[in-house]
Structure 1
């Protein structure tokens, strides 16, 4: 669900409130449908604060999502360097399975540095990384308090309720970052699983773009829903 005025090479600056609040956010713990404990780590310091191996894995999975051609509008995968800035350049969250006591305790940093836990090199990301999302302004300047987010899950997340947990986390962090309203510009109408999640979380369809997308999973052009929710 990329921002309306955004392309992978252009970044809208976050409003001052978001820039101030982002470094204060702590990891959030949750439990999946299968009782697996997970931690959702906020990434406020840019891609340099994320393990290179994790970024490489997420780039691989996001590229595969684009190639499948059913959820994002891009036709070609980004380079690894472009993805680094596109996904982590403003603010993002990464969902990771807790194992061997690897949950972040009170006061733990977003990368688990100094604790041997969390987002550190050496973890088996294909097994423990379940998904990620970013939060960015949807519009510039005087409208930058309206935010947008992009989500994707990894193969290890299938059927475990990770999408709902990330959606709930998004609704917790976005208001703390100072955003007042959330809008998703391109939720394809045939992505019923995504639509159900957002409806359960209180979002409403506020617009529709007829025949907006040529998708790999449809022989017909697919409508795009514009979905919004008040964050105040």
Structure 2
């Protein structure tokens, strides 16, 4: 697979089953997202499709391999900084899907007038994600001690990461 062949587009209702097949294993794993591992589909969709988020999917040959949302990180006088969340289907990890979605989100954020991207809770033990975000220009600007209850490791640190667009 070439990430250049990925189509990244706004979500449609027809994508919901594919999105659940991506969200569910990540949520159940309890290692990278602050969502209750017992969360059901309705609760997960309430989070992923919250009114302040615009949701996209990454698709290859009609198969949805990843999804991300883009939103303001804050409100009012701080609404010029974006925030995003990304999930990749377990079978598509390590194949450039997250990187392609990140590049797409940075471009969309910049085109929408955002001046920076901030990730508020990058789990420090998620080394693959930390390396990816650093490779794409995000910097660790803060460490939150024991901010995340990892399902297997217990309390672990999280990073705040930031990139000017």
| TM-score > 0.5 by shorter chain | yes
Aligned to 2:162: 228
For normalisation by structure 2, the TM-score amounts to 0.88
Structure with the largest fraction of strand: 2
* Displacement of 1:179: 0.9
1:51 and 2:13 equivalent?
Answer: yes
Deviations 1:156-194 (A, max 9, x none): 312312111111111111100111111101001010100
Deviations 1:113-144 (A, max 9, x none): xxxxxxxxxx5xxxx11101000111112211
Cα 1:209–1:161 shift into 2, 3 Å = same
Unaligned 5+ segments in structure 1 are 1-29, 44-49, 99-122
Which segments of structure 1 move beyond 4 Å, counting only runs of 4 or more?
none
Structure number with higher relative contact order (C-alpha < 8 Å, ≥ 6 residues apart): 1
1:31 and 2:2 equivalent?
Answer: yes
- Aligned 8 A contact 1:56 1:80 in 2: no
Q: Number of residue pairs matched? A: 163
- Aligned 8 A contact 1:215 1:221 in 2: yes
Unaligned 5+ segments in structure 2 are none
Rg larger in 1 or in 2? 1
Structure with the largest fraction of helix: 2
1:65 and 2:26 equivalent?
Answer: yes
Aligned-residue Cα RMSD (Å) equals 2.2
Aligned to 1:94: 57
